[in-house]
Structure 1
Amino acid sequence: MSVPCCVECGTSQNPCRCKFVGPTLALVAFAIVAIIEWPLGALIYPFSRMRGRRMMANPVEVVYPCVKRAIPF
């Protein structure tokens, strides 16, 4: 079993110009939120399309970027 890890090189947020912890934690947070919100969004979609779309897009548009930016390493 492999551990998911993400590396972002070329960033200017820290002296070594490489991020490992932020993107990796963002990937884990994305997966946890997606497991919860995607099925709920699919259930809500037939009744309220815009709310269902927003709910299914939340992990990609809000959670991943927010966690990735919060941790500069």
Structure 2
Amino acid sequence: MPTYSIGIDSETAERAGAGGMYQVDTVFDENENDITNRIDVGTFFRDEDEFKDYLSKQINVPVDEIDIVYL
């Protein structure tokens, strides 16, 4: 299962009135390649499942094959 490392920013969401949500500002694939350019860093997510669903569509990998670790 491919593992993606992500960096999150919850402070911006809080300031924008979207408390409890976060933005992903960094994404690395299982080979440590920076693939942040494949996502919209301005998108807010409620939870990991919502982000995994979004990432799945952006990189064409089935959602059930995506594993997330946090930087």
TM-score where L is the length of structure 1: 0.30
Larger Rg: 1
Please state which structure has a larger fraction of its residues in helix: 1
Please state which structure has a larger fraction of its residues in strand: 2
